[in-house]
Structure 1
Amino acid sequence: MNLENTDPSLPTFDDCLKKIRAIDDTMELLSGKWKLSILSRLCYKPMRYSEILNDIEPLSGKVLSRELKDLETNGLIIRCVSGTKPPSVTYSVSDYGMSLRDLSDKIAEWGLQHRDRIRSSFKRSDL
């Protein structure tokens, strides 16, 4: 059985595999419930640890610390320690992390449309 398509206007099987692998890589990097949520907040303004923790209600401190460390290790955020007493730590999105803003905006846009769709279906079922 030949899996290769014969239509030149369609991507090849190898091209599809490359994209699938790239999606897998991206999902691995952004895996977890909170990374994209943290990143999207930091795209709008730098935040201190306690601000992020308070802004994302059910997030625990332990999980936030782990997620911030992963995001920093992957170069998506910058951890800035001030020289004040006591030291103050602020997190901001890096230029590299900012490259994910369009993706974050698209996901948010889709989420809003989906939420409207669900609300509409509930309204129709109430009739």
Structure 2
Amino acid sequence: MTGTENRVQHTISECTRALSGVRDALYVLNGKWKLPIIIALSEGPKRFKDLQRRVEGITPKLLSKELKELEQNELLVRHVYPQTPVLVIYELTEYSSSLNDIIQAMSEWGLQHRARIQSH
């Protein structure tokens, strides 16, 4: 039995639709920082400096860029409190919880993959 016998056949339109969905998801979550930022914020709302400490290795400029993109995609909100100094808090939106299963599946796959590679 070859590996191709177990594959499900899909139409071109099904493949195109699936590929479009994957591209859209990757566009929103691209790079190495967006998911770590989302995971850090899943612990609760955070100030910029707290996020920078939690997401080790990210520069302030890059963190700012990533936060803006996550806000544009409605995955987090930025609360500005007018005081001296100005207080800015970042918090996940309810919509961001739609990523929970995806993040969990990626985490599980990553752990399995690491174990597989290390065992060889």
TM-score normalized with structure 2 length: 0.85
8 Å CA contact retained: 1:76, 1:97? yes
Distance 2:30 2:72 in 1: 14
Distance 1:45 1:120 in 2: 36
- In the alignment, which residue of structure 2 is the partner of 1:87? 86
- In the alignment, which residue of structure 2 is the partner of 1:101? 100
Structure 1 residues not aligned, in runs of 5+: 1-8, 122-127
- In the alignment, which residue of structure 2 is the partner of 1:30? 29
- In the alignment, which residue of structure 1 is the partner of 2:52? 53
Deviation of the 1:105 alpha carbon = 1.1
Secondary structure of the residue aligned to 2:77 is: strand
Distance 1:103 1:48 in 2: 25
RMSD over equivalenced CA pairs, Å: 1.5
Distance 1:87 1:11 in 2: 54
- In the alignment, which residue of structure 2 is the partner of 1:41? 40
Deviation of the 1:66 alpha carbon = 0.3
Q: Hey, which bits of structure 1, 4+ residues long, moved more than 4 A?
A: none
Larger Rg, first or second structure (1 or 2): 1
TM-score normalized with structure 1 length: 0.80
How many residues get paired?
113
Structure 2 residues not aligned, in runs of 5+: 1-7
Secondary structure of the residue aligned to 2:30 is: coil
